[in-house]
Structure 1
């Protein structure tokens, strides 16, 4: 399974998406973590359940190629 955390960090570091916008997309996919918890997941400070990684992946897959 692909770990989307590196991709999410890259998008955040390049200002392609804000943490708030990433969280909104993640939440829209069914995520239950708070924005702070999502930030900790993305930066590997907390270990998410495998399904949470799927939600993060789905949240970033829908981003347009040239940004949100």
Structure 2
């Protein structure tokens, strides 16, 4: 999991016509994430607001979305 960068993965999914930031946030939130959509958006675009478990939940959400 250490080679997986959730910021790059999220931007790649969005740019490829995949899920939007609100859709990514919804999956992340459904998995137990506590950040709001603005915090998640900021994190994806380089502002380090999420840490620890929150990043792990985002990583899990992105992996699930990339296989849907």
Task: Bin the TM-score by the shorter chain.
Answer: 0.7 to 0.9
Distance 1:61 1:8 in 2: 10
**Which has the higher relative contact order, 1 or 2, with Cα contacts under 8 A spaced 6 or more apart?**
1
Superposed CA RMSD in Å reads: 1.5
Equivalences for 1:1-68 in 2 at 5 Å?
Answer: 1=2, 2-65=4-67, 68=68
Give the TM-score of the pair, scaled to structure 1. Answer: 0.82
TM-score by length of 2: 0.82
Which is helix-richer, 1 or 2? 2
Instruction: Identify unmatched segments of 5+ residues in structure 1.
Output: none
Moved over 6 A (4+): none
Give the total of aligned pairs. 66
